[in-house]
Amino acid sequence: MLKKKFHEYSYNLGFTREEYGSRSNRYSRLVFSAFHRYGFSDTLTMGFHAEAGNNLYNLGPQMTFLAGRAGIVSLSLAGSSGRGSNSGAAGIATYTYQGLNIGARLSLAGYSRNYSVVSDTQSDEKTKYTAGCGLSYNNPLLGTLSLDLASVRKYVGDDRDAGTVSYNRNLTARTSITATYRRVREGGYSNEFFITFNFAPKPDLFVSTGYEQTDAGKTVVASLQKNPPVGEGFSYRASVKRSDVFDQTTWTVNPDLQYNGRYGIYEGGFQGHASGGEKTGQYNFSVAGALVYVGKTFGATRPVYDSFGLVNVGELEGVTVLLNSQVVGETDSSGKLFVPNLGSYNQNQVGIQDKDIPIDYYLSSVKRLVSPPLRSGSCISFVARKLQPISGRLAIRIGAELEPVEFQEVALKVNGRDITFPTGSGGEFDIDLSQSNEFKKVLEIEESGCSSITDNTNVMLKPGTYQASVQHAGTLRSFSLSIPDSTEPFIDLGQVVISDTP
């Protein structure tokens, strides 16, 4: 269901991937696919789906509505048309209900004999209809028990009926057990039983053991897995499996090690088999990465499967970058880091650790919410400027005398905005832009786009000459203020003299 006036859509044009998983760079015909859904109200969503390719066209409407507190109903129709025997129709209806403790589902789909989709126009086994239903009960103390029934009828091929009973329960905060029994009728009858015990000693570390019993034999598996980090770091997984099928014992071991680096993912593994006195083994190694460009910055990073971002923290090196509170990496010598795993149309919280920022720096913010479009690049800027207070004494030349400009407000033109600061006794002044609301607005503009990345600077006020003005004796006096290029923590401009010409 979509909220009222919300859209969900995808329009795609590309080439069909052939023999996926077994051969690389094998593409064939050009195909088009799309869907578009719109929330007419909070309880009604409608749309369409379409695809075309290889002289085949498939199009149909979709509708999902909320049936009060009774659940959600979805209806979908489709028709296909093309050369040969690919013209037909299909319809799908589903119902789901999820209460506090009870859940239910119903589904029914029917297909005419010649109905076809672009991804499968050559299959000999055509489905006539499918039907399914399910019921589940959940209790925090007792666990979850579910029952599912499914039926498939075909124009050609064996029909299939299956019934499944599953039980899941958390034994402790870190351990759980899952058991499943399934009975299948497809040509004959078969029975399957699975039970799995899971243990998570750490949030990213998992240990599991499983037992499977089928009509053909039994299998026992033990595995250990550390999930890959969001950013840089190591992960691993290893499994040992013993299968006793058709009176033959087979041992399989499969260790794998992966490193997420700054510029790519590097993975190596081994798969070994031992059965009937014969042993076989296979090693594998892979490298994956991406070349990206955004904000006039080109670079290499880990694979990008959705969207990515370029984080910039001034010119500060070694600043830790976080994505949804998990470490992604550290900025390089130019203050930049690519984040390759942003989720499109989702709120991604990108942040930095302020403890990595020197104490003499102004930092605009430590967290940003980013919601990028699909397969896009985003500039994510955290304005970090070195606090370099500027002081001096302002005076005006009156004939041969220098008269201090005291207790006046000076307007300094910075990036098209007037930044003001006062003068005191003897014309003394201090410029601390970190306290200027107008200058903070300038930094907010830089932070909202790619400007701070493409025109990066490390100081609050760039070296150069700025125009300024001040009221003196009822007359507006203009003058130039030159800021030197200095690495000192404080800049003393000495005496700044305004000519006596208005």
265-284 pLDDT, tens digit each: 999 999 999 998 899 999 99
Q: Distance (Å, rounded) from C-alpha 158 to C-alpha 138?
A: 35
Is 297:310 a contact under the CB 8 Å cutoff? yes
Better-scored residue on pLDDT, 485 or 234: 234
Give the pLDDT mean for 374-384.
Answer: 90
Is 262:249 a contact under the CB 8 Å cutoff? no
State yes or no: pLDDT of 210 exceeds 90. Answer: yes
Burial class (CB in 10 A: 0-12, 13-18, 19+), 440: middle
Across 270-285, b (16+ Cβ under 10 Å) vs e yields: eeeeeeeeeeeeeeee
225-269: pLDDT as tens digits: 999 999 999 999 999 999 998 889 999 999 999 999 999 999 999
395-422: pLDDT as tens digits: 999 888 899 999 999 999 887 778 889 9
Q: Distance (Å, rounded) from C-alpha 390 to C-alpha 476?
A: 23
pLDDT at 452: 59
Give the pLDDT mean for 44-61.
Answer: 93
Sign of CA dihedral 441, 447, 450, 456: positive
pLDDT at 211: 97
pLDDT at 125: 73
The residues pairing with 146 across neighbouring beta strands, listed in sequence order, are: 136, 166
Share of the chain above pLDDT 70, in %: 93
Mean pLDDT score of the chain, rounded to an integer? 90
pTM over 0.85: no
Q: Distance (Å, rounded) from C-alpha 181 to C-alpha 27?
A: 40
pLDDT at 438: 67
pLDDT at 501: 67
pLDDT confidence tier of residue 161, bands split at 50, 70 and 90: very high
**How many CB atoms sit inside 10 A of residue 367's CB?**
12
pLDDT at 118: 85
Q: Distance (Å, rounded) from C-alpha 321 to C-alpha 153?
A: 53
Amino acid, res. 142: L
pLDDT at 445: 67
Is 410:470 a contact under the CB 8 Å cutoff? yes
What is the widest separation between alpha-carbon atoms in the chain? Answer: 113
Q: Distance (Å, rounded) from C-alpha 322 to C-alpha 339?
A: 9
Give the pLDDT mean for 426-430.
Answer: 94
Give the pLDDT mean for 426-437.
Answer: 83
Amino acid, res. 1: M
74-126: pLDDT as tens digits: 999 999 998 777 889 999 999 999 999 999 999 999 999 989 888 775 566 78
pLDDT at 420: 87
pLDDT at 12: 92
**How many CB atoms sit inside 10 A of residue 427's CB?**
23
Closest to 221 (Cα-Cα) out of 248, 239, 198 = 239
The residues pairing with 496 across neighbouring beta strands, listed in sequence order, are: 394
Burial class (CB in 10 A: 0-12, 13-18, 19+), 474: exposed
Give the pLDDT mean for 173-199.
Answer: 95
